[in-house]
Chains A and B, each alone.
Chain A
Amino acid sequence: MKVSLYVAGDAPTSRAARQALEALLDELRGVCVNYELVDVLLHPERALKAGLLATPTLIVDAGGRSRRFVGDLANRGDFAETIKAFCDQQRDATQTRG
């Protein structure tokens, strides 16, 4: 599972989103999550490629299924649930194979 957070420099909303996401990732201890932080002000071509409308945007991509969360992630519920659910599915799949 790939988790990409697109931020616009050190803007307040970007900073808030980054804090919220990284707090969750800490809880998950980095298990099964490939995390990438993209600053669109430094890498606008990445924003272009991702078809980005707003910052901050969190893109959760798990094998073809993807979700976008736009905003400062102040409401932790939705994105945390999604990431956890994707994580669980991935773990189940790994265990079945193992």
Chain B
Amino acid sequence: MSEGAHTGIDKLPTGIEGLDLLLRGGLPARRLTLLLGSAGAGKSVISLQTLYNAARAGTPGLVVCFEETPQEILENVGDFDWDLGSCLDRTLHLMEAHVGDDFFAAGDFDISGLLAAVASKVEATGARWVVFDGLDALLRALGGHRAGLRELLRLRRWIAERRVAAIVTAKSGEPDSGAYGSEFGFLPFVADCVVRLTYDPVEDVFVRSIRVSKHRGGPSAGAQVPFVIDGRGVTVAYREGRRLDHQVSETRVSTGISRLDHLIGGGYLRASSVLVSGSPGTAKTTLAAALAHAACARGEKALFISFDESGAQIVRNMRSVGIELDGYQASGLLRLEGFRAHGISAEDHLLEIEALIQAHEPALLLVDPVSALAKAGGHRLAAAVTERLLDRAKSLGITVLMTSLLEDLAPDHEGTASHVSTIADTWIALSYNVHAGERNRALTIIKARGTEHSNQVRELRLSAQGPTLTDVYTAGGEVLMGTARIEREVQAQREHQRRETEYGAQLSREAAEIDEMQERIKVLTRELEARRRRMEAVRADYTEHERSREDEVSRVRRARDADPDPARGE
């Protein structure tokens, strides 16, 4: 039990995922809650689930059945994985108040007899919850509008006195026809809390939704929120403020493509969810199949749900790209299930998938494409169902890979219609890169929670040896793939060779010049030597000449015996 934080009105939790959040804690304790909805909308299930949850937690509850017998009501919820036996007649009690065939109206009456009976049962069982299931059947038997209102006010007074939380369920007519308004239109005015359920066709399937239209003394979200009924009962797809407390794993599982493993830190995290989005033909299924193949190769079980193709088609198509699945299918490791997307509600798909999970107990779940669920009742429901499925898988430690079709082929349009991309732990976008009349597959890791990952676009290539990734060629700010990549690579190679030749030529030219110059230096050096030698010879000649001239002068003077000439320093 939790106290209403804003108002001081005590709340009793319903224990139904999402609904307590929508109701900001639960339904008002000691007050009357009206659960309105068309036939089959899930009124009985929600009220019974609330009491079952309370009963398991030790809070007793009582269901007063007006329209169906207790046996019928138990049969209605018999398919859920509830352990009713553990609390039935201990903390969960059913009481028949069936308006039978032997009922003759003989004038004016009131429901004090019934209330006295219920009161004694409440006292005997200690019930804190009382459900009046199908009260409209009784009101109808009462006849007039005035009698109905009077008795409902009596019921409300009784609830306040007994201090029990009461849920009254009643059928409502079509929301727009006003049919209900004319019959028991007073019902919502008498109730403290009004919850409306609808079960309406959306895009050719029926979709359930819930709305809190009145919540006296407390805030309510007021939004129309889809809900699903599956093997565990009702889940309301209301997420705000929801606590996530799944066990996290650090183990990596191979993607089946070694280069992709390398890109995302060794593989996908076990028990995480992977979204592979892309236009038709971008090899989403191939990526899923590669992962399935890798899981089976490790001896793990995989469950492959296909909405587009039959299992046989997938096996055949994957063989052409080097992924052999038939062996694993035969050995029972791989289970391939082809579903038809149209005409069945996403909710029913969820039920089927959950049943398959239970039967096959896979370590890996593949849903191809999860966007097919949106065909079955609109995006909001699909998102709710997907979230539920992921939640379920995570709690069981199952790794999930979903593919999602992108209707929009614009290259920068990476957002999927459903909000799956925000829930998924890893998001890989596949796209086509169109260049020079050619389409090539590109792979981008948009996000990978808890993983260092490359921000580079890679080319995804399929061959008989299996899928692989190739680095893309970037040139001048352009990402090139396929033939363009090859062409550009060849072109660059040629350019390189041309340059190499050019350099070679230039080098040898320069070398030759240097050689020539060195030759010239040698010649000049030789010339220089010769000149030097000639200069030495001249100098020697000159010295000889000077000396012989002086000798001649001395000889002549001696011969003339002349006196020394003072002018000449003699």
B120 at the interface (CB under 8 A from A): yes
Report the bound CA distance from A57 to B121 in whole Å. Answer: 19
Chain A residue numbers with a CB within 8 Å of B104 are 67-70, 78-79
Instruction: Assess whether B97 is in contact with A70, with CB atoms less than 8 Å apart.
Output: no
- Whether B110 contacts A8 by the Cβ 8 Å rule is yes
Residue among B103, B113, B117, B138 having the largest count of chain A Cβ atoms under 10 Å: B113
Task: Find out whether the CB atom of B117 lies under 8 angstroms from the CB atom of A48.
Answer: yes
- Which listed residue (B109, B111, B121) contacts A71, Cβ 8 A? B109
Quick check: is A94 within 8 A (CB to CB) of the other chain? no
Chain A residues within an 8 Å CB radius of B113: 6, 8, 40, 47, 52-57
Indicate if the CB atoms of A55 and B120 lie closer than 8 Å. no
State whether A52 touches B117 (Cβ < 8 A): yes
A67 CA to B103 CA, complexed, in Å: 7
Main secondary structure of the interface of B (DSSP, over half): mixed
From residue 72 to 112 of chain B, which have CB atoms closer than 8 A to chain A? 95-100, 102-112
B493 to chain A, nearest CB (A): 93
Instruction: Give how many A-B residue pairs fall within 8 Å (CB-CB).
Output: 109
Assembled-state Cα–Cα distance A66/B111 (Å): 21
Q: Is the CB of B96 within 8 A of A53?
A: no
A73 is contacted by which of B107, B116, B121, B138 (Cβ under 8 Å)? Answer: B107
Binary interface encoding of chain A residues 57-87 relative to chain B, with 1 for a CB under 8 A from any of its CBs, else 0: 1100000001111111111001100000000
Tell me the chain A residues, 7-44 only, with Cβ under 8 Å from chain B.
Answer: 8-9, 11, 13, 16-17, 40-41, 44
Residues of chain A lying within 8 A (CB to CB) of residue B142: 54
Q: Quick one: closest B residue to A71, CB to CB?
A: B107
**Contact partner of B103 among A17, A70, A79, CB < 8 A?**
A70
Residues of B within 8 A of A54 (CB): 109-114, 138, 141-142
Interface majority SS (helix, strand, loop, mixed), chain A: mixed
Query: Is the Cβ of B95 less than 8 Å from the Cβ of A79?
Result: no
A72 to B120, CA, bound (A): 24
Cβ-defined partner of A47 (8 Å) among B108, B110, B116: B116
Total count of chain A residues near the partner, CB < 8 A = 33
- Assess whether B106 is in contact with A53, with CB atoms less than 8 Å apart: no
Query: Chain B: how many interface residues by the 8 Å CB criterion?
Result: 28
B119 at the binding interface (Cβ < 8 Å): yes
Q: Please, could you name 12 A-B residue pairs with CB atoms under 8 Å apart, sorted by A? A: A6-B113, A8-B113, A8-B116, A44-B119, A52-B113, A53-B103, A53-B111, A54-B111, A55-B112, A67-B104, A68-B104, A70-B103
Task: Report A7 CB to chain B, min CB distance, Å.
Answer: 8
Tell me if A98 is interfacial: C-beta within 8 Å of chain B: no
Nearest-neighbor residue (CB-CB) of A6 within chain B: B113
Add 16 more A-B contacts to A56-B113, A67-B104 (CB < 8 A).
A13-B109, A48-B95, A48-B120, A51-B97, A51-B100, A52-B114, A52-B117, A54-B109, A54-B110, A54-B113, A54-B138, A55-B112, A72-B107, A72-B108, A74-B107, A78-B104
Measured between beta carbons, the chain A residues less than 8 angstroms from B103 are: 53, 68, 70
For B119, give the chain A residue with the smallest CB separation. Answer: A44
B106 interface neighbour in A8, A40, A66, A79, Cβ under 8 Å: A79
In Å, the complex CA distance between A17 and B120 comes to 24
Q: How far is the CB of A37 from chain B (nearest CB, A)?
A: 13
Q: Which 6 A-B pairs rank lowest in CB-CB distance, beginning with the nearest?
A: A71-B107, A44-B120, A55-B113, A8-B112, A47-B117, A74-B107
> A82: nearest residue on chain B (CB-CB)?
B104
Knowing A41-B112, A51-B96, A53-B97, the reply to whether A58 touches B119 (Cβ < 8 A) is no
Residues of B within 8 A of A17 (CB): 107
Residues of A within 8 A of B117 (CB): 40, 44-45, 47-48, 52
A95 to chain B, nearest CB (A): 28
**A residues less than 8 Å from B95 (CB atoms):** 48
Given contacts A47-B114, A71-B106, contact A53 B120 (CB under 8 A): no
Q: How far is the CA of A44 from the CA of B116 in the complex (A)?
A: 5
Find chain A residues with CB under 8 A from B105 CB: 70-71
**Chain A residue at minimum C-beta to C-beta distance from B121:** A48
| Most chain B beta-carbon contacts within 10 A, residue among A13, A48, A51, A66 | A48
Residues of A within 8 A of B102 (CB): 66-68
Q: Could you say which residues of chain B place their CB within 8 Å of the CB of A67?
A: 102, 104
Bound form: Cα–Cα A66–B480 in Å? 89
A8 to B109, CA, bound (A): 10
Could you tell me the distance in whole angstroms from the C-beta of A83 to the nearest C-beta in chain B? Answer: 12
Report chain A residues within 8 Å CB of B111.
53-55
Chain A positions within 8 Å of B98 at CB level = 51
Which residues of the partner chain B approach A78 to less than 8 Å between Cβ atoms?
A: 104, 106
Residues of B close to A72: CB separation below 8 A: 106-109
Chain B residues near A44: list those with CB within 8 A.
116-117, 119-120
**In the complex, what residues of B have CB within 8 A of residue A47's CB?**
113-114, 116-117, 120
Interface centre among A11, A40, A54 (most CB of B within 10 A): A54
Give Cα A78 to B107, complex, Å. 11
CA distance A71 to B96 in the complex (A): 20
